[in-house]
Amino acid sequence: MSVINCKAMIKPPMSNEIVKTIGASGLPLREQVTMPLPVSFCEEKCQHQFLYSDHCPVNLMGRDLLCKLGINITCGRTGLTVIHEEEEEEGEQLMLMSEGCDSYYAWDVDDEVPNIARVFSMAKTHWGHEGSFMSEAGLHCTSHFSPLTRDLHYEKQWLCDTLQNESVQCEGIYCSSDFCALGVNLTPAQKELYLFEDSTPHVSLAKSDRVEWVDTGIWMKCLVDATDWEMRPDGSTYSPSTLTSCYPLSWGTPTERGVHGVDQVSFSTNIMLLSEDSPLLRGVPECLWARDKYDFGRIKGAEPMVVTPKDTRRPSRAQYPLSKEAIAGITPVHASLLANGAVIPYPESPCNTPILPVRKPSGDWRFVQDLRPVNDAVFARAPVVPNVTTLLGAVPPTAEWFSVIDLTNAFFSIPVAPESQFWFAFTFLGKRFTWTVAPMGYVESAAISSAALAQNLEGFIPHEGSTLIQYVDDLLLCSSSVETCETDTRALLIFLAENGHKVSKKK
């Protein structure tokens, strides 16, 4: 994340976001994040949030801002070259996701309520700009945002206080050149659950490509603070200071309280990849290539994972309501996991932990399960966390050519012992299922799969002397020449196929 040193700028407007960081001292810190600040580079202009830190000695432009501005840094024999790409080149992209998951809590609007089509019709009439409209199934009024993880203290009140036939009252359609949203009047009880200080209750309808959805709340707060609203003959009002019009609308809509997840950081960068018909891939067994993004292998010789409980506790947490959009998004994911055997029906399990579907920026959905109650109830192996600095130190100084292989669903390549499968049960569409493979979110999954992979890779010896480095489920092959790199990469792919691994051919 990009950083502004506290001494370099008088304290800018701050958001309520807190980010956990670890600096050179190795000590964990909690630091604030700014509100979106204007950034300009050449002719590029955007809004961006920064970490505001007095522990970082200099300002840092992180990969998040580099990608947003289209800046490439290339390493060569003569040093570093900085290139500003005005247009994104064609080709594959490597999506880099942070491990954490932000959560937000919202009153979700029922997309089948009367007059929802009329609301969108009015919005499209009054907001005549190029941009993106929220889907009818995605309408919501956010009450609270929790960075990195779920706010369990807030969640307890949020779900326990759930009312039958709860609704929110929308008043007015607000339109500017960048935003279109509904104002929301909350009841006194609802206001107690609304924790934003730099925003005001609203339902986002549309935005231009120049801004992000998260900026809507800040804009709405400016409208509430504006004092120059003028009445117009057609019954609408206009604020010259904010260049915003408000069109009359009174709409009470039924809602459900929802808990949502979203990837906290996502960005992409161009990377050169082998084409799928590259001569290098000829002769590599077809069984290596994943059929789809939910396909997985079985590491040859891997021992099934056995759960060791601390006591007689068997965690059971009820599944909270999911929005119709989340259910629709996660249904094909669940169907694929079921078809591939990663999950199976398990109605008799005494355990249950809630699932939290997460929508990716691409529009796809990720299956996330809150296994923290299970993690607290078991004895976990001490995780072996690779030190990135040590790993980079293992790269030979003579290495000039590199090959990167990303194993597909590496956690799933470790089976769960049948007697331990009940621990990972969850409920979807009123039925209980469980995992037959090491699930994401379980405290031991990373350590066990990484150790099993490392043990398996001990059997691979690069014929041409390349160096193989493993970081969790990513493999880096370091070679001194292009010929050596190609030969050993092909040998590694064949070894992986013979030992039960799966690799995405597109990557």
Q: What is the CATH number of the domain that holds 465?
A: 3.10.10.10
Rounded CA-CA distance 142/192 in Å is: 13
pLDDT tens for 445-493 read 988 998 899 999 999 999 888 999 998 888 999 999 988 998 999 999 9
Q: Which domain-ending residue is among 41, 61, 87?
A: 87
What was the pLDDT predicted at 366? 86
What was the pLDDT predicted at 97? 31
- Residue of 337, 342, 332, 336 whose CA lies nearest to 298: 342
Instruction: Specify if 224 maps to a domain.
Output: yes
Rounded CA-CA distance 70/258 in Å is: 35
- Judging by DSSP bridges, how do beta strands 244-263 and 101-109 pair with one another? antiparallel
- pLDDT(153) > 90: no
Q: Which two tokens stand for residue 125?
A: 């009439």
Rg (CA), the chain: 26
What was the pLDDT predicted at 183? 96
Residues 6+ apart with CB under 8 A from 187: none
What was the pLDDT predicted at 93? 33
- DSSP 8-state secondary structure symbol assigned to residue 111: T
Q: Which domain-ending residue is among 61, 87, 113?
A: 87
- Residue of 394, 390, 442 whose CA lies nearest to 421: 442
Residues 135 and 82 grouped into a single domain: no
Q: Which domain-ending residue is among 263, 291, 306?
A: 263
pTM: 0.55
Query: In the beta sheet, which residues pair with residue 103?
Result: 146, 261
- Residue of 118, 167, 110, 175 whose CA lies nearest to 139: 110
CB contact at 8 A, 415 and 320: no
Number of C-beta neighbours around residue 458 at 10 A: 7
pLDDT tens for 378-418 read 998 766 666 666 777 788 888 889 889 989 898 899 999 99
Residues 395 and 459 grouped into a single domain: yes
Residues 161 and 35 grouped into a single domain: no
* DSSP-derived secondary structure for 168-237: EEEEEEEE-SSEEEEEEE--HHHHTT---SS---EEEEEE-TTS-GGGHHHHHHHHHH----EE-TTS-E
Instruction: Specify if 505 maps to a domain.
Output: no
- pLDDT(207) > 90: yes
Residues 207 and 334 grouped into a single domain: no
Q: Give the total number of structural domains in the chain.
A: 3
Residues 155 and 194 grouped into a single domain: yes
Residues 198 and 340 grouped into a single domain: no
Structural domain boundaries enclosing 472: 273-498
Number of C-beta neighbours around residue 137 at 10 A: 19
